[in-house]
Structure 1
Amino acid sequence: MTLNITRRQALLGGASIAAAVALGGVHPAFAAADRTKIVVRVDKDLVNLDPANRSGPVDLNVIWSVQQGLISFKPESTEWELDAAEELVQVNDKEIRFKLRPGLTFTGGYGELTAEDVKFSFERFLHPDAEGKPVTYAKDWAALDHVEVTGPLEGRILLKTPAPALYSIALADGSGRIVSKKAFEKLGKDFATTLIGSGPYILKEWTPREQFVLEINPDYKGPIKPHFQQIVGKPISEQRTAEIAFSSNEIDFTAIDPENGKALSQTPDASVTQVPAIDYVWFGPNIEKAPFDDVRVRKALRLAVDIDGILQGAYAGLYPRANSLLAPQLLGYWKDAPVYQRDIEAAKTLLEEAGHADGFKTKLTIEANARYEAIAQIIQANLADVGIEVEIEALESAAYWALGDNNASKDLELSLIKYNGKFDPSFQTQWFTSEQVGQWNWQRWQNADFDALHAKGATTVDPEERARIYVEAQKLLDESAAFIWITHNVNAFASRKWLKPGVLPNGNNWLYTAFSEATA
């Protein structure tokens, strides 16, 4: 489909929210809030509750609540704290010893959590599943050699190489959740929809497309104490619908568009907060497709598009500009990355040198939503100024993300992409390696030096040396001109004034166990 979205259309959301605020007030049914439970909005339904095959943050946030890891993230922090482990010791670069807390039990009658469950949970990532495929997050444990059980509650995690990212990418994250070996073997395919754990909450109910309900686990004996008896999650895909639901007191917490923060803050009993994100939004060409196999054409694209104009027109000037892959909060941030300003004449010169003085036609593929449609419209107008005619193809979410399967990206020409970030730079760089061509490297860019730097960064322990490695890797991305960075995003949230959310610094992950009543 071809879209013609104006800037005015893209920014109309705030007006509808303001109207809802003016008309809504406090609905009498919610005037006396039940403080034993909260209702949160999630942007999509649960998909896969197997931690090794989770589909994204919505799944993970629930998994974290129900299953323990040896360690877990601290609220509002990238640091971690002990969870199922009573002790965790880094013996050397390739050995971690753990001792579990006694008395931890799985729900569903699956017995005590033991070191055998830890071994099974982590080593799952090393082996293909029943269909012969690696688990989705196999790379999180790429450094693992094996787990040795030294006692009922004790063991050693033995690595093939040093892995400085292991704590943040695996152990404290979803790939470090401890599953019941007995439950996995008994449930089979139902394991992905039946969440068995030893953590603070149980998944009491899940009605697809309607809601899920987390309820305090009465048998939990760990150190992380939840505040609310129940947490209800309501999937609402449309942002404006969610914001209106918040204004009508139907939900207590939701992510919002930062543009609507001021209007929502005027809602009775509302608090609005913002968190700088570590995502990465960019667009770029498939460099295997002519004419994008010519670096001069790619450089012309980069000079023809007005990134600052996109930030004004599609992001209301509220989002920071990205000039490289890694956000400022991350190790390896390239603070001196080039800032490419729009230069139409230079772009035309490059196109002429490449033999495209008369321009050409191409297609830009995006995920269908108002913001990305607005970005695409600006790109379309910008490239028309240098003779490049752009057709915009907007795909529904499922069809868009299916481009990561079965080499479907080979047919792309231009694509607009947004990936969620994690707290270690190795998570971000992994998607641009040669082996990701046909999966998530949609630009199909391959560079042996980049691959080597990614591998080296993953095993380098010294932080200063790691930072230097990731800057060098980003320089190679820049030289390719295959990646035109837009923003690292901003996360904004609306919550009741009496509610303190448990949001991690990336903004996408929430610790439901850390949601609590706000202090005066």
Structure 2
Amino acid sequence: MFKNKKILSLVSMMIVLMLAAVGCGKGSENANGGNGTVKDTLIVAQGADAKTLDPHASNDNPSSRVIKQINETLVVQDENMELQPGLAESWEKIDDLTFEFKLKQGVKFHNGEELKASDVKFTLLRALESPNVGHIVGAINKNAIEIVDDYTIRIATTEPFAPLLAHLAHTGASILNEKAVTEAGDDYGQKPVGTGVFKFENWINGDEINLVRFEEYHGEKAKVEKIKFRNIAEATNRTINLETGEVDIVYDVLPTDMKRVEENDKLTLMRQSNLSTNYIGFNVQKKPFDDVRVRQAINHAIDMESIIEAVMQGVGSVAYGPLGPNVWGSNQNLKPYEYDVQKAKELMKEAGLENGFTTSIWTNDSKTRMDIAEIVQNQLKEINITTEVKVVEWGAYLDGTAAGEHDMFILGWGTVTGDPDYGLYALFHSSQFGDAGNRTFYANPKVDELLEKARVSVDQAEREALYLEAQEIIRDDAPWIFLNNSENVDGVRSNVKGFVQHPAGHHRLNSVYFE
């Protein structure tokens, strides 16, 4: 009898302890890692799903933000845009055309293969063939990539190219493993293999991408075990998910939601002027946008200050031209198009279109861009232009604008290298139509000449003068409605530490951890 009572007592104590343990576990889960086990998964929300995780198959921001965690480049531009060693531990300029890179030894790809110079050569040759990122490495002479040994490679350009190192820091120049790419074939964009701090785990298309810490990483390992990138298209829903703790970091907080984040003591709003300029592009190959007077008229018909105030609520500044003030060589002396409806009507009359025409504006499902499109739609009625706003899914949007299916479209471009070549050549040179960046299909022989000269000059002052002149012509030709120079506006949970914004908008997450 005594023994049975003792056993019952012990069993009762064990049940109590088990219930307590379960209670603690449940509490720590609900508290997002507060009083128990620290969370192991960082959840990041952005406004669109990646189009692909192949660095050579697209050059869009949602894709690049994920690619940045998986892949690495020979050199890196840090948060101050200073060049730092990446997969190359050192480099040396041999002559005006040639750099020699010493690769870090013992670097493993996520499939276990060791990084060799042959992978670098394979990557660059593959990138050169890409319509999406070929312009980034296009200065490289494909016949002058020399493997000295397994850990030494020489890369030469066809002509002097001052921004080569900055271009090699671009996600489009991420170093790939030849074996992994060959084995995956056309599916590589869904099965990426890199050398980065995180490796690919799985992708639920349209919903989420999951990455896991790479335990054999050659440098300091990531501080969290996993990252989940969630696609939440509606920006206010992203903010709500941040408030409830469903996500830990939100990219691209709406101007209308900034106050909500700032006033919540569990959240932090982070703002940083970046390297991006937003614009409305014309398809200048289509009538009536092939007439510069029509493009100029529309620029004069848009009250840009009111758009910045109503939609952006003070985020960023009015763009005078294609490059923002954070990019060296940007022409900040350009005179912006004045809001002048009478001038716009005169130009439309000169073009024989005083009675207007019907057109469309494409946008993806960004609330900010949709709001801008609606304001532009209303303002263009003043000069008898009837505009339909078409909201297109992100992947289809990129494909359609690359194919020239649009009339007008809203987009942004980040000069992520910090060099004006990247912000001008891809967008305005006649060789870069479509995927490469020139979705306006704009061509001007003088602009081509200036951009080509600036690419091969090693004289910084000469390059700047050429870029300043090119921007004047582009401003006058008006292939764009110049909207605003942008900011990174991100929301972070207060228990998330170590997040640092990058001016290019491709934030590295290896240093992020939970308090």
TM-score range, shorter chain: 0.7 to 0.9
Query: Post-superposition shift, 1:154?
Result: 1.3
**Could you say if the C-alpha distance between residues 30 and 381 of structure 1 is closer, same or farther in structure 2, counting changes exceeding 3 Å?**
same
Shift of 1:118: 1.6
Deviation of residue 244 (structure 1)? Answer: 0.4
Post-superposition shift, 1:243? Answer: 0.6
The change in CA–CA distance for 1:318 and 1:141 in structure 2 (over 3 A counts) is: closer
Code of the residue aligned with 1:279 in structure 2: it is S
Q: CA deviation at 1:55?
A: 4.9
Alpha carbons of 1:246 and 1:308: their partners in 2 closer, same or farther (altered >3 Å)? same
Instruction: Show the 5 A alignment for 1:174-185.
Output: 174-185=171-182
TM-score by length of 2: 0.85
Amino acid at match of 1:391: E
Partner of residue 513 from structure 1, selected from 495, 510, 514: 510
The residue aligned with 1:416 is: 410
Q: Which residue of 2 aligns with 1:81?
A: 84
Letter in 2 for 1:141: V
Secondary structure in 2 aligned to 1:150? strand
1:149-164 equivalent positions in 2, closer than 5 A: 149-164=147-162
In 2: Cα distance, 1:209 partner to 1:441 partner: 27
Please list the CA deviations of residues 466-506 of structure 1 after superposition, one character each: whole Å capped at 9, or x if unmatched. Answer: 22221111111122133220112222111123423132113
Gap change, CA 1:86 and 1:31, over 3 Å in 2: closer
**Relative to structure 2, which stretch is displaced further, 267-276 or 287-296?**
287-296
The percent identity for this pair of structures is 25
Residue 404 in structure 1 maps to residue 401 in structure 2: yes
Deviates more, 1:494-503 or 1:439-448: 439-448
Alignment of 1:16-165 (within 5 A): 28-30=30-32, 32=34, 34-74=38-78, 76-110=79-113, 112-127=114-129, 134-145=130-141, 146-165=144-163
Q: Report if aligned partners of 2:38, 2:514 keep a CA contact under 8 Å in 1.
A: no
**Would you say 1:344 and 2:341 are equivalent positions?**
yes
Are the structure 2 counterparts of residues 189 and 306 from structure 1 closer, same or farther at C-alpha, using a change threshold of 3 Å? same
Counterpart residue number, 1:241: 237
Counterpart of 2:423? 428
Q: 1:418 to 1:452 in 2, by over 3 A?
A: same
Which deviates more, 491-500 or 437-446? 437-446
In structure 2, distance between residues paired with 1:327 and 1:82: 27
Post-superposition offset of 1:123: 1.9
Distance 1:360 1:266 in 2: 46
AA aligned to 2:346 is T
Structure 1 residues 348 and 155: alpha-carbon distance in aligned structure 2, compared to 1, 3 A threshold? closer
Q: Secondary structure at the match of 1:384?
A: helix
Q: 1:35 and 1:28 mapped to 2: Cα distance? A: 11
- 2 CA distance for matches of 1:286 and 1:83? 39
> Any conservation in 1 of the 2:235–2:366 contact (CA below 8 Å)?
no
1:410-441 alpha-carbon deviations (Å, 9 max, x no partner): xx2x3333334322222221222223345553
Per-residue CA deviations over 1:330-366 (Å, capped at 9, x if unaligned) read 0121111112221222222333333334444433333
Provide the rounded CA distance (Å) in 1 between the counterparts of 2:105 and 2:181.
Answer: 22
- Describe the SS at the equivalent of 1:278: strand
On the 8 A contact 1:332/1:469 being kept in 2, the answer is no
- Give the Å deviation of 1:117: 1.5
**Can you list the C-alpha shifts for 1:78-119, whole angstroms capped at 9, x where unaligned?**
122212222211222211111222222223233x21111222
Other-structure match for 2:390: 393
How many Å separate the matches in 2 of 1:389 and 1:210?
Answer: 35
CA contact 1:227–1:515 (8 Å) conserved in 2: yes
Is 263-272 or 225-234 further displaced after alignment?
Answer: 225-234
Q: Which amino acid in structure 2 is aligned with residue 515 of structure 1? A: V
SS across alignment from 1:279: strand
What code does the residue aligned with 1:418 have?
G
Aligned partners of 1:295, 1:53: CA distance in 2, in Å?
A: 33
Gaps of 5+ in 1: 1-25, 128-133
Structure 1 residues 304 and 247, CA gap change in structure 2 (3 angstroms): same
- 2:19 — aligned with what? none
Describe the shift of the 1:470–1:515 C-alpha distance in structure 2 as closer, same or farther (beyond 3 A): farther
Alpha-carbon distance, 1:36 to partner? 4.2
- Cα shift at 1:195: 2.4
**Contact in 1 for aligned 2:48/2:394 (Cα 8 Å):** no
Deviations 1:33-70 (A, max 9, x none): 72544221133334422222245333333333333322
User: Counterparts of 1:340 and 1:447 in 2: how far apart (Å)?
Assistant: 20
Cα distance in 2 for partners of 1:206, 1:379 equals 37
Select which of 486, 491, 494 maps to 1:489: 486
SS of the aligned residue for 2:275 comes to coil
Of the two, which has the highest radius of gyration? 2
Match of 1:309 among 284, 303, 306: 306
Letter aligned with residue 173 of structure 1: H
AA aligned opposite 1:120: F
Per the alignment, residue 501 of structure 2 pairs with 503
Tell whether the 8 Å contact from 1:48 to 1:55 is kept in structure 2 after alignment.
Answer: no
Runs of 5+ consecutive residues of structure 2 not aligned to the other structure: 1-27
**Residue 27 of structure 1, CA deviation:** 9.4
In structure 2, give the amino acid aligned to 1:66.
I
The letter for the 1-side match of 2:133 is Y
Q: Residue 210 of structure 1: CA displacement?
A: 4.0
Residue in structure 2 matched with residue 12 of structure 1 by the alignment: none
Tell me whether 1:231 sits opposite 2:227 in the alignment. Answer: yes
In structure 1, the partner of 2:456 is 459
TM-score by length of 1: 0.85
- Identify the range of structure 1 (353-362 vs 342-351) with the bigger mean alpha-carbon deviation: 353-362
Counterpart code for 1:479: D
**One-letter identity of the residue aligned with 2:109:** F
Distance 1:221 1:389, change over 3 A: closer
1:7 aligns with none
Question: Alignment partner of 1:34: what SS?
Answer: coil
The residue correspondences of 1:220-299 to structure 2 (distance < 5 A) are: 220-222=217-219, 224-255=220-251, 256-299=253-296
Q: Which residue of 2 aligns with 1:14?
A: none
Q: Say what the alpha-carbon RMSD is for the aligned residues.
A: 2.6
Note the C-alpha offset of 1:368: 4.1
User: In the TM superposition, what is the alpha-carbon distance from 1:212 to its structure 2 partner?
Assistant: 3.0
Amino acid at match of 2:145: V
Shift of the 108–344 alpha-carbon distance from structure 1 to 2, 3 Å rule, reads closer
The separation in 2 between residues aligned to 1:288 and 1:220, in whole angstroms, is 48
Amino acid at match of 1:116: S
1:225–1:81 distance in 2 versus 1, CA, 3 Å: farther
Aligned length: 479
Asked if the contact 1:27–1:248 (Cα under 8 Å) also holds between the matched residues in 2, the reply is no
